[in-house]
Structure formats: C-alpha cells, structure tokens
Amino acid sequence: MKSIKSLLLIAVAALFFASCGTTSTVPITGRKHTLLVDDAQVLSLSKQQYSDVLKQSTLSKDAANTAMVKRVGQRLANAVEAYLKANGAESELKYYEWEFNLVKSTQVNAFCMPGGKIVVYEGILPVTQDEASLAIVLGHEIAHAVAKHSAEQMSKQIRQQYGTQILGSVVGQTLGTNAGSLASSLAQSGFSFANLKFSRDNETEADKMGLIFAAMAGYDPQKAIVFWQRMASSSSSAGKSDVFSDHPSDAKRIAALQAAMPEAMKYYKPSK
C-alpha cells in the first residue's frame, strides 16, 4: 500500500509539471526555458520592490552622472526594443517600463528588476570610468530582465519546493518520519548547491546578451574586457574558485566575454 501511495505522488507531480508553465525562448542565445509564473505576477512584485528600494535610498545629487546613467540606459532600451520588434517579439514590449536611477552609495554594483527598473550605485562609476563601460554594466542588467531570469529562478524554486515535499513524503511513508525529514533536508542542501551553478549560468548568459545589447546601441563591446579587468583588480575574490559562488569568477567571465566578442562585433556600428 505504501508503494502505491508513493507511485501516486510521483505520478501526480509529473502530471503537474507536465501540464503547467509556459515555454519561451531567450533572445540572442536561443535557450528555451519553462516558466511557472506569469509576467504580470512578476512585474507586480517588481514595481513594489523597486519603489521600496528607492524610498529607502538617497538619489544621487550629481546631475551630470545622473543624466549619463539615464542617457546610456535609454539608448540601450531603445536598441533592445528595436531588436525585439525586428525579431517577432514586439508583444514583449508591453512588459517594459524603463526607469534608470543613480543612487548615492559606495556599493560597486547595479541591479535591474523585471520590467526594466534599474538602479546604479555611485560606487561603480569610478570602475566604469566611461559611458561605453557603463553600457556594458547596464546591458548586463537589462539582459537579466529580457531573459526573464527572475521568473526562471522563481519557477525553479517552486519545482524544487514541490520536489522536496514529494521526496520527504515518499521516503517518510516507506522508511518513517525521521528518514523523510532527513531526505527533505538533504534535497534542500543539494538544490541550494545546484542553484549556485544555475545562477552562474544566468550571469554568463546576461554577460553575453549585455555585450551584444551594448554593441547594438553603438557602444564598443571590447570595453567589456578592460572593465572586467578593472573589476578583477579591485576584487578580493580574484583568483578564487567560483564553485561556491552565485557569480562566475572574473577569469571565467573575461574568457566567456572574449569568446562572445566576434558575435558582438557583428552588431557594432559606432555612433557618429
């Protein structure tokens, strides 16, 4: 009887995952992924979180740098929208409400919410040094939104949560409650470790897409190499393994960008 219940649980889970989700293709890379959350849900959360971040932050008072961030960001957004229109994805444009803000902070970072809500921290500007390098950073962040990496991560977590619960139930019915709890705990640990590589893969994909988006917008993609070399020289993690990190190592990042450079250069037409 226990084995029948176990098989039923597995069958129900398989049916659930087979019937749910929407398969879409990531622009530029052509990778396919199945999402269990829809764009409306993700965008609603994104707007609220972005609003909360801005309320808790201080916008930069540097007018020139603020204008630069907005100028470079909008130029990239225009290039991305033109690409989507030209490649049969015009319906995706309704999900973007571009916004670019420079925040007063020493953090060497930037981020993009789904839907194109971007924050750049002042601390990254001494590393970017010029507009082309800033375009590499913003292109990478925009790529996360275009590739729907947030929705993909959420979908993966949903699957893993169900998988963990099912495994715990199956093992618990077969070997007892304690064994079921242990199995669930081990599964969660395994998923957490596997998710680090999943996140690194997303970062690498965003690097390539961002490189090409920058080139489409008329920024020299070759600036990405010297930018990441500057980032590496200022990083305390330089030379360390990325196995336990959610980002690829600087060396791997630079190597992947160099490999993608010939493709990016095909899109590059210097602005006059």
Catalytic residues: 141
Distance CA 124, CA 69 (A): 11
Residue 52: partners with Cβ closer than 8 Å, 6 or more residues away: none
Neighbours of 64 (CB within 10 A): 8
Between the CA of residue 246 and those of 163, 164, 194, 242, what are the distances in Å? 22, 22, 10, 8
For residue 81, give the amino acid letter. Answer: E
Contact 118, 142 (CB under 8 A): yes
Distance CA 11, CA 8 (A): 5
